[in-house]
Amino acid sequence: MSAIKKLFNQNCIVPDIINIAPSETLDVQYPSGVKVEIGKELTPLQVKDQPIVNWAAKEGEYYTLAMVDPDAPSRENPKFREWHHWLIGNIYGGDLYKGEVLSDYIGSGPPKGTGLHRYVFLVYKQPEKCDFSKVPKLPNNSGEKRGKFSIAKFAQHYKFGSPVAGNFYFAKYDDYVPKLYQQLKG
């Protein structure tokens, strides 16, 4: 079993979010200078801005990228599983800027006292360019319609199959979180 598959299973991303772990590691680099290393802890301040994401994309193919938190509001009480932080579809050949932003990026904001949350990035290869016109486009100044999302159901609906690449980190509350909550009030 590859290291990524092993860590996705050990940290219950399989089966909490997906049934099969990706085989490739997604490269995620934040403007703060931190790089997501599978299963490492980062702070909400370090991940507040949209990262640069790369994977072994094939030219001429379309992809969907998602970032979700299955531990909302806490791992013990995940009643909003999954809260999606970022969703981009129709990414052509791995170029995020050629993708269709369905949900603008929102950094980590675990509530105070809820411990570590898992923040999971997944990339799916699309069978073709998709019509996402019925998917609500969500801005980064509101938390509306982000809870109780399922990337697995979304992928199944659009016939994506299993994720081709992924990564994840842990984060817990820090002093930046109240600033993020202000942003989400619009």
The pLDDT tens digits of the residues spanning 134-152 come to 999 999 999 999 999 999 9
> How far is 168 from 123, CA to CA, in rounded Å?
12
Output the six-digit token pair for 71: 């531990």
pLDDT tens digits, 89-138: 999 999 999 999 999 999 999 999 999 999 999 999 999 999 999 999 99
Residue 180's φ and ψ, nearest 5 degrees, are -65, -45
Which CATH code of 3.40.190.10, 3.40.50.10260, 3.90.280.10, 3.30.70.100 fits the domain covering 3-184? 3.90.280.10
